[in-house]
Amino acid sequence: MTPSAEQLDALKEMINIGVGRAGGILNDLLHARVTLKIPMLRILSPEEVAAGLETNQREPVSSVQLRFKGPFSGRAKLIFPKESASKLVSIVMGQEDFGDDLDSIRSGVLMEMGNIVINSVMGSIANILSERLSYSTPCYSEGMSSDSPATSDASVKETILLAQTRFNIEKHHIEGDVALVFDFESFGVLLSAIDHILTTESQ
């Protein structure tokens, strides 16, 4: 299921509004100027994600996942290369040496960041479309960049919205990805809701 150019523009606008809200929350939390940008949004199938990952170098990543349920359901993941994740944790905590506590501190900080960013993005989508979503608690994991954000069950048809995310905290630049994973039916519901909004705005 391929969205139209208008639907894709609407999705990118909703996600940008969400990351803008997340930036505002992080400004207050970190007492520093934080800006988040989404320079690129792509719609991919699990096969396309897997093919792209095979051409890229495997690297360790840290990710936070939330499941969401409502008229459209799925999973949202915030994914950082491990180097970017460590840099982000150092900026947030104001130090670089955590000794034996590094793993627990990293997971705690990234779960909080993921919770803020993902809830802001999904909240923006839900609010603009006048829908209600419920969320699971965030789940932190570490793995390799070649691990697809899609399900491991090849029989399940899914659509993945992959949004490149750029965090600018003062003079620090951190890269990550927001992946929204919808099953085939849920993505159709999402596009129908977007069509309704676009039709209403054009009247």
Dist CA 106 CA 102 (whole Å)? 6
Domain region containing 72: 5-202
Task: Tally the domains of the chain.
Answer: 1
- The 10s digit of each residue's pLDDT in 77-121 is 999 888 888 888 888 887 776 666 767 888 888 999 999 999 999
Best CA proximity match to 123, nearest among 5, 30, 25: 25
Mean pLDDT of the chain: 84
Q: Which residue has the higher pLDDT, 119 or 48?
A: 119
- The 10s digit of each residue's pLDDT in 116-154 is 999 999 999 999 999 999 999 989 998 877 665 655 555
Dist CA 174 CA 40 (whole Å)? 15
Residue 84: which CATH number?
Answer: 3.40.1550.10
* Confidence at 55, pLDDT banded by 50, 70, 90: very low
